[in-house]
Amino acid sequence: MARSLLVPASYVALLRGEGPDREVLLQLRAGTGWRDGHWATMAGHVEEGETARAAAAREVLEECGVTVAEEDLQPLTTVHRTTPGAGQVEQRVDFFWTAEQWTGVPRLA
């Protein structure tokens, strides 16, 4: 039996505030061709030779223009998802992170 090659991605929720005033930064996807019109956290694929944590920090900078230090990314959960019969591209592992500290002001980047 052949081994499954997983496509890895990292997702980041930027958090601020406490208790009932806690906020999560989301972006409304538009003009990408993928899930346009849906709200999402910053996310993207892990590139070859990159750690999931490094990918998370890179995606935050690319997508909302703020810098998150890798050590400020806290693991939230990991999800292994597959689509039987859909081929190798639909065998995925998603890493979810939170961050409460960053440098800069979030913007569309």
Structural domain spans, the chain: 7-99
Whether the predicted pLDDT of 108 surpasses 90: no
Give the model's pLDDT for residue 67.
Answer: 98
Domain 7-99 CATH (choose: 3.10.105.10, 1.10.760.10, 3.90.79.10, 3.40.50.720): 3.90.79.10
Contact (Cβ atoms closer than 8 angstroms) between residue 70 and residue 53? yes
Whether the predicted pLDDT of 1 surpasses 70: no
Residue 47 to residue 81: CA distance in whole angstroms: 19
pLDDT in tens, 17-73: 999 999 999 999 888 888 899 999 999 999 999 999 999 999 999 999 999 999 999
